[in-house]
Structure 1
Amino acid sequence: MKFTRKANAQWKGSGKEGKGSLTTGSKVLENTQYSFHTRFEDGEKGTNPEELIGAAHAGCFAMQLSFLLNEAEFTATTLDVDATVTFEDGSITQVVLNLEGDVPNIDAEQFQQIANKAKEVCPISKLLNTKIELKVSLTSS
């Protein structure tokens, strides 16, 4: 399977005082504000590249894990993934994926193994050149 997706970034002004907007092909993001303040400070409404990478990674990983669970004949009731992206000295140095899963009839060891495989084969994990840590918690339904 091959497909492409598009997004657009527009920036006006200097790095610190300027502002930009992001629009995705799906229009889920449409002229969404980003700026120095939304990236490096708190309080202003808008997004930033690290937040978007975290959302992309969490979403991709959850979907990949779901496919791998299905291959092993399990279906998750819920997979809840938080991604924490660390930016340090001009680089993204780490992503921590914190997974909480509710998967009927699976044991914790098997869930951990499948989650680790999902982390390795997730397309966004493969894209990122950084340390990726996975923390797993399984709840029973």
Structure 2
Amino acid sequence: MITRTASARYEGFGKEGKGRVSTQSGVLADQPYGFATRFEDAPGTNPEELIAAAHAACFTMALSFALAKEGFTDGTLETTAGVKLEKDGDGFRVSRSDLSLEARMTGIDADRFAAIAEGAKADCPISKLLNAEITLEHRLNG
């Protein structure tokens, strides 16, 4: 079992509070987050952006490994994830993650590629983590 960690610190409360988020690897180190980075356009990050990055990376890697298992050795996969935060009663919830994939590879037909991509979407650990609708749109260029 692998455990990865991240930490968050929030000083002050509500809209006036300011946070910092860091990851074990150091790739994020005291990155700012707060109301303005989550709901407005202030510089910094937010939980949904981090989830989107994690989902895009996880799915793309899962697909890469699935294609390698099928004997494919060359190509490029580019995925964007759009994570939607919406009102839920008095709070909010992440309701969906929309994956958009562009693949450049040869030697595979569109139906086979779609089946492998759907399998990767279902098997990706971040997909399994999310309690949200997950969609996948893909384009295969040979």
Task: Assess same fold via TM > 0.5.
Answer: yes
* Structure 2 match to 1:8: 7
Pairing 1:61-140 to 2, within 5 Å after superposition: 61-89=59-87, 90-140=92-142
**For residue 114 of structure 2, what is the amino acid of its counterpart?**
Q
Corresponding residue SS for 1:29: coil
Contact 1:69–1:76, Cα closer than 8 Å, also in 2 = no
Equivalent pair of 1:75/1:104 in contact (CA under 8 Å): no
C-alpha deviation, 1:76, in angstroms:
4.3
In 2, distance between residues paired with 1:83 and 1:10?
26
What amino acid maps onto 2:27 in structure 1? Answer: V
Deviation at 1:14, TM superposition (A): 1.2
Runs of 4+ in 1 over 2 A off after TM superposition: none
* Structure 2 unmatched runs, 5+: none
Q: TM-score, normalised by structure 2?
A: 0.95
Unaligned 5+ runs, structure 1 = none
After superposition, the CA RMSD in angstroms is 0.7
- Aligned to 1:16, what secondary structure does the other structure show? helix
Structure 2 distance, partners of 1:137, 1:75, is 19
Secondary structure at the aligned position of 1:5 is classed as: coil
TM-score between the two structures when normalised by the length of structure 1: 0.96
1:70-97 residue CA offsets vs partner (Å, 9 max, x unmatched): 1111134210000001111101111100
Identify the residue that residue 57 of structure 2 maps to in structure 1: 59
Distance (whole Å) between structure 1 residues aligned to residue 103 and residue 50 of structure 2? 22
Partner residue in 2 for 1:34 = 33
Q: What is the rounded CA distance, in whole Å, between the counterparts of 2:19 and 2:94 in structure 1?
A: 21
Aligned length: 138
